[in-house]
Structures are given as C-alpha cells and as structure tokens.
Amino acid sequence: MEKRQKILKWLNNLINLFLLICLLVIVYFILQVFAVTSFKIPTDSMVPTLLPGDCILVDKCSKGARLFDVAAVLNGEEFTIHRMPGWRNYRHNDVLVFNFPYPVSWDSINFDVMLYYVKRCIALPGDTVEIRDGHYKVKGFDNELKNIVVRKDLSFFFYGDTVTAPSSFPWDPVLGWTMKEFGPLPVPAKGDVVLMDSLSWMLYHQLITWEQKQPLRIDESGHIYIGDSLVRKYRFRENYYFMAGDNSCNSQDSRYWGLLPEPFIVGKAVRIWKSVDRETDKIRWDRIWKRIE
C-alpha cells in the first residue's frame, strides 16, 4: 500500500509539473503575441543607439498587438492585419521594429513575415518631412530629432562638389532628390485626400497600389488610373511613417524605399536585455537593460 501511495504521489507531481510547463508555455505565447517580444540586431544601421549583437525587447501592446493569419501569409494567400486596442500612438523619435515592406522591389509593397527592420520614426502621419544639407526637418515639429549627431556626419560627408550625394526615393532624375537634399514629402494619414497628378503618382503609387490591390498607372497625358477607372483624387486608407537609421551613412531606410505602412509595424523598441560583442563573443555588461531612446 505504501509503495502504491509513493507511485501515485510521484505521478501526481509529474502531472503537476507537466501542467506547470504547459501553463508557462501558454503565458510565454500570450506575451509573445500580445505584449512583448525580442529581436537581435544584425547590422550597424542604428549605431550608436543599437549595436550589432544587441538583443532588444519590443513593446507590442502600447499601440496594440497585431493579429493576422500567419498560415495565409506563408502560403501567399490574401490576409488582413488587425490591431488590438492600445493606449498610445507612435511618436517622433520612437525606435520601431517592423516587417520590411519592400522585400522584392522598392516599387512594390509586400509582406514578409520573416524579414524585420529597426529604424527611428522621423515623421508621423500628416507630417511633411525634408532633408536640407543632410539635416532632417519635420514641419511643425520643433523638438530635436534624436539622430542629430549622426546626421551631421551625413552632412559633412557630402560636401562641396568633390562628392556627389546619391539619388534617393522616388528615383526621378527630373525631381532630383538626393540623400542630402530631399523633399518636401507629405506623409499621408488615414483619411487624407491627395489630388492625383504626376507628382502624386510618383510619390504614392506603390502605397495606392497596395491599398487598392490593383495597379495604379499614368498615361502619356498625365491621367491617373486605378485599373480602368480614372482617378482625380485619392483618399488614403492607412497611416504611413518616414523611418531613418541613426547611422545615416549606412542605413537602407525611407530615403531609399519610401514610406512605411502602419500595419507593418510590430512595436516600439524599449530595452536592451542582452548584448554580445560579435567579434570577441563577450557580453557588453554596460548595455544590459539599457533604455532605448
């Protein structure tokens, strides 16, 4: 009888342990989906704020976690991204993690569930952003953009006539925007209406094509069509953002590919929870639990 009781007690402990593990897995899954997740920084595009080898925590719930059918995404089927309610909007200078919206071509928005970028939010929906002499300016935003130190490097790098600043989005030689002299570019907010002309087509055709799920085209006379329908005005269905890396001289950001749709944003980077120097394989203790600003 005593031996049987010991076996039953052992089985009971084993079941309790199994249930505890299942509970922890469920809690972990819920936190990953709805609250916070982790990403590892692979490149130096956000130096000095983030270094290669930093592992960061990303807050999903402040703006609201995304819900979508991962199986449909992986199978190339149509899907919709829903966002849970949150308690704050994204702000200027937030460091955001997002699915890179132009994995195939900078002229076409696509969702790659496995491809993530991290950049700083420079301009919000409804802003107008420009770059003058390598310095970012956002109309109506008088506070300092936090990547100002690195942007000075960009300004000094392209000086005089000895170095020509590379071309930039929207890659039109007549418009002539460069990494040093860019814009002004109005960043659409949900509900904004734009008159459709050749400039609007140039700046927003990939956004409108993605929203409408059919091609936007312009004819020789400058008329704009969605499918076969002539369009004189367009009302945007989503919010968009202008993103930039702190290491401006080595960052593939909105200067190259344009604007970021809000549904592609995972969340705000908040803390570095681990940091390993990739060259020495040593932990950077001074960066542990550092706040990301």
- Give me the active site residues, please: 45, 119
Distance between CA 30 and CA 48 in Å, rounded? Answer: 32
| Residue 86 CA from chain centroid, whole number | 18
Distance between CA 181 and CA 169 in Å, rounded? Answer: 11
> Could you give the 3-state DSSP secondary structure of residue 162?
coil
In our burial notation (b when 16+ CB lie closer than 10 A, e otherwise), range 44-81 reads ebbbebbbbbbbbbbbbbbbbbbeeeeeebeeeeeeeb
Give me the helices (H) in 31-102, please: 70-74
- The set of residues, in sequence order, having a beta carbon less than 8 Å from that of 209 and lying 6+ positions away, is 108, 109, 215, 216
Instruction: Report the residue count for the chain.
Output: 293
Q: Give whole-number Cα distances, 187 to 130, 232, 240, 253, 254, in Å.
A: 11, 19, 6, 15, 11
- Name the DSSP class of 35: I
Distance between CA 149 and CA 152 in Å, rounded? Answer: 5
Distance between CA 80 and CA 99 in Å, rounded? Answer: 15
Q: Which two tokens stand for residue 15?
A: 């079941």
| Residue 279 CA from chain centroid, whole number | 27
